[in-house]
Amino acid sequence: MPLAPAAVLAKVKASINRREQRLFGVIKTRKEFVGIVFDEGFEVWERQQRAIHLVGVARAQRGGTRVELRYVLAPVTRIVTIIFFALYLVGTVGLSLREPDPAVSATELVAIVLGAAVLGAGFAYAARRQREDLSALADRLLTAEVSAARS
C-alpha cells in the first residue's frame, strides 16, 4: 500500500467508532464497526457482532506499508461458547435420563448429537458472515488506496 503506516492507521481510525445514522434513532440501518488503533496496528469488530475480530498490523516497507490481516475469535466468545455447549450437553443428557427410562437410548443420543451439530453449524455460519463483513470493510479501507496508486 503506497502510504506510510501512520497514514494507514489514521485512515482506519477515521473509519471506525462512528455511530451511523439510525432509523427512528434506534434501529441500525448499516454496519457499524468499532475497535482500537494502537501504535503498530488495529483491532476492529462489528458493533453488535463481537465474536470475530479483524486484527491488522501495519509494517513499513520500501514504497509504503504492508498490512497483515488476520481474524481472531474474541477470548470471551471462546469461553461463552464452551460454556454454552457444556450446558447444552448437561441439559439434554439430564432430560434423557429422567424417568421412566433412566438410560440414554440410541435415538436420544442421535438427537443430542444432531442438535449439537445444528448449533455448531449456526455458530459457524454467523462467524463466516462476520468474517465477510470485516473483509468487506478491509477491502473498502485498504484497496481504494492500492487502486488509486496503480492508476
* Residue 148 confidence (pLDDT): 44
Q: Residue 64: which region, alpha, beta or left (left: phi > 0; alpha: psi -120 to 50)?
A: left
Mean pLDDT by 10 residues, the chain (151 residues): 83 83 71 89 88 91 88 91 94 84 84 93 94 91 58 39
Per-residue pLDDT at 89: 92
Place of cell 465477510: 132
Which pTM value belongs to this model?
Answer: 0.76
Is the previous residue joined to 2 through a cis bond, with omega within 30 degrees of 0? no
Cell numbers standing for residue 13: 481510525
Spatial distance between the Cα atoms of 4 and 84, rounded to a whole number of angstroms: 44
Closest C-alpha to 89, from 109, 103, 105: 109
Whole-angstrom Cα distance, residue 10 to residue 43?
13
d(CA 49, CA 136): 15
Q: Based on the number of CB atoms within 10 Å of its own CB, is 55 exposed (0-12), middle (13-18) or buried (19 or more)?
A: middle
Q: Write down the domain spans for the chain.
A: 5-150
